[in-house]
A = this chain, B = another copy of it.
Amino acid sequence: MTSIRVTVWNEFEHEKVHEQIRKVYPDGIHAVIADGLKKHGFTNVRTATLDQPEHGLTEAVLAETDVLTWWGHMAHRKVEDAIVDRVHRRVLEGMGLIVLHSGHHSKIFKKLMGTSCSLRWREAGEHERIWVVDPAHPIADGFGAYFELPEEEMYGEHFDIPDPDDLVFISWFPGGEVFRSGCTFHRGRGKIFYFRPGHETHPTYYHPDVQKVIANGVRWAAPTNGPAFTYGDGSAIHAKVPLEPITVK
C-alpha cells in the first residue's frame, strides 16, 4: 500500500470514435492504467480526461496530485495552453510526471524537453523486446534481462530528446529498429519518466510487465521534500544581503 496520490490523464478520444479501439479499452485507456496501479497497492488513484472542465486538471486536482500520468495522441492540439502551463509549473514545483507512448508529442512533454520529441514509427503489430540497461535503477525493480510484448506499434531512433539523466530501457523491434524506451529526467523539483509502449490498438496496458513498470515509475517519480523555489513564474531570487561579509571595490 502506498499513499502516493496519482492522477491518470487520458485524452479519451480514440476509444469513443473507433469501434476497434473501444473493444480493447471499453472504459478508456485511463481505466486500465488506474486498475494496474491499484493492483500494485496504490489506493489513491483518480482519473481525468480532456473532455472534462479544464481537462480535469484544475488547480485543486493538481495540488492534490503527487504523480500525473499522461496519455494522448490524436488530440494533442486540443489541450489548452493554460492547462499545459499549469502542469508545467506543477512539475517544476515537484509533481512527478509519467509520459506514456504517443505522449511524446504532447505539448507538456515537448515544453519540458525543449526539443521536437520526434521519432520514427510504424504500425505493423510487431512484437517488442525491452532490454534493461540500468539494472541498478528502481524502475527496473523486479525485472530480468528483458521483457517482451507480443504486439505493439514500432518507435525507432532517432528520438529527438535531451540525453536522459538515466536510460533504463532500450527496445528491439523485428523490423530493424531500436529505441530508448525508458528515460528519466529531473526538471526543477520534479521527476519525469518517459515509457514507450502503449499504442491504442493493442492491449498493452493490461500486460503485467507494463503495469509493473508504470507502478515502479510512479514510486520513483513521487515528490520528496527538497528545497522549494518559485520556479513556476520564473522569478529569480534577489539575495541582496550576502551570506558572507564582502568588500565592494
The SS class assigned to the A binding surface is loop
In A133-149, the 8 Å CB interface with B consists of: 133-138, 140-146
Residue tally, chain A, CB below 8 Å to B: 89
The answer on a CB contact under 8 Å between B229 and A118 is yes
Interface centre among A142, A145, A166, A167 (most CB of B within 10 A): A145
Contact: A244 with B176, CB < 8 Å? yes
**In whole Å, how far is A155's beta carbon from the nearest beta carbon of chain B?**
9
Given A92-B160, A140-B227, A244-B175, answer yes or no on A150-B237 (Cβ-Cβ < 8 Å). Answer: no
Listed by A's residue number, 15 A-B pairs whose Cβ atoms lie within 8 Å are: A122-B239, A124-B242, A125-B248, A126-B246, A135-B229, A136-B191, A137-B226, A141-B225, A145-B158, A158-B229, A162-B187, A167-B167, A170-B180, A175-B242, A177-B239
Known: A134-B163, A145-B227. 19 other contacts (CB 8 A): A92-B116, A115-B231, A116-B188, A120-B145, A121-B237, A121-B239, A124-B248, A131-B177, A132-B158, A133-B180, A134-B226, A135-B227, A136-B226, A142-B226, A165-B166, A166-B186, A167-B167, A170-B170, A176-B243
